[in-house]
Amino acid sequence: MRKLKKVMTAIVSGLAALSMLISSTGVVLPVGALWDYRYASSVTDLCTPPEGYESFEDSELYQNHEWLFEYGALNYRSIEHRQFFASYYYFAFSMVDLTITNDGWETIYNKYSEALDMDHATLLALGKTVRIMDSINVSSCDYEDVDAEILKRYNSIEEKYDTLMAMCSEMYEAGCIESAEYTPFSAIAKPLIADGLCVYDYAGTQEEMELFVTSICPEAAVKKVSCYISDELHSGYRVDFAYEGATAEDFFAVLDAVSELEGEHIIDANIYVADEKGYDIPVLGEGPIDILAELEKPATTHGDLNQDGKVTVLDAITLSKANIQAITLNESQTAAADCNGDGLIDSADVTVLLYYLTDKVDVLPVTIE
């Protein structure tokens, strides 16, 4: 759960979003999850490597061989297996998966689509699932500055959150959806491995190639050197590096040294996708979050300041406004506002109500030490 300071910031933001929705639609949607900070984006820094990996794009190793990392916009190196890399190529932002019950969802979606300004995916899974998201596929996009475009969309997560929650709330109230899952940010990577290269039209013998390679990197790093024929015109030798014992430094050292050999020869030194090795890499990002799971808290005398039979973030907004004397509570609201049972209405009641909404306490009133 987000820390209390962030919760208070989200409530202030919720007030602004509330006034915007009232002015644009003339109604306030009744679903309690609207502007609920529990579902707000808490994505990690885009530049933070996934667990088990480290940044290396500032390294000399990467900068001297950047042309080989052609798959993705973000590249990280495995801390444990030094031949392996994770190259992130597909990025999804503000993604919502809806299980629909009727076609009414589309009318509501069209109402919010201009504000969302996102891709609308086709129906999936027997026509019952809809995915709405903003996405970039680095391998197929034509943006001149891919990194800037990714960062731009990443930074739009917060501003699109309120609109998505309002849309899902309206769909739920209209009976158009039976489930909604929200993923603020997710990125998918290709696993890459620097494990082999081919040298065609090399004038020397296989033994000479073996001696040349082992003079550059440890013998334990080399799995084998073998003859290799690509077609009728080109033949040469393939250098395979050991799965255990070799590092990317060994691979690139041999690559650089072969490139300096005299004579005309062709080098095939792709960083191969390592899917066949069963190499698993984590998804970057977080989620999904079940939007509908906690739309409403059970009715209770305390905490229900707007007297609608449930306790939601809207009650926390009302209590926060009352605490700074922006509004005046009536008698029944004052009784509901005393969330810690001390007979006073102050910031301590706001704290208790926020604890209740974030499941840190189960009942009201309660005293928090």
| Omega of the bond leading into 184 within 30 degrees of 0 (cis) | no
Specify the pLDDT at position 38: 37
State the Cα–Cα distance between residues 16 and 7, nearest whole angstrom.
15
d(CA 103, CA 97): 15
In the chain, where the domains are located:
45-192+281-289, 197-270
- CB of 255 within 8 A of CB of 129? no
pLDDT, one tens digit per residue, over 272-309 is 776 655 566 767 766 687 877 655 545 457 898 988 77
pLDDT tens digits, 138-190: 877 666 677 788 888 888 887 888 788 888 888 988 999 988 988 888 888 88
- Contact present, 265 and 209 (Cβ < 8 Å): no
Helix/strand/coil for 174 = coil
Would you state the pLDDT for residue 89?
A: 84
The pLDDT assigned to 92 comes to: 87
Q: State which H helix or E strand residue 209 sits in.
A: helix 206-214
| pLDDT score at 348 | 92
pTM, 2 dp: 0.61
Sequence letter at residue 136: I
| pLDDT score recorded for residue 349 | 93
Cα–Cα distances (Å) from 178 to 202, 268, 311, in that order, read 64, 52, 22
Question: Which string of DSSP letters, residue by residue, matches 19-68?
Answer: HHHHHHHS-----TTTT-GGGS--PPPTTSPPTTEEE-TTSHHHHTSGGG
pLDDT at residue 255 in the model: 92
CA distance 25 to 157: 22
Name the token pair of 97: 């998966």
Q: Which parts of the chain register pLDDT below 70?
A: 1-47, 119-127, 141-144, 230-233, 274-280, 282, 285-287, 293-300
The answer to whether the Cα torsion of 99, 104, 110, 115 is positive or negative is: negative
C-alpha distances out from residue 209 to 203, 255, 266, 354, Å: 10, 13, 14, 69
> CB-based contacts of 257: which residues, under 8 Å, 6+ apart?
212, 216
Tell me 303's DSSP state: S
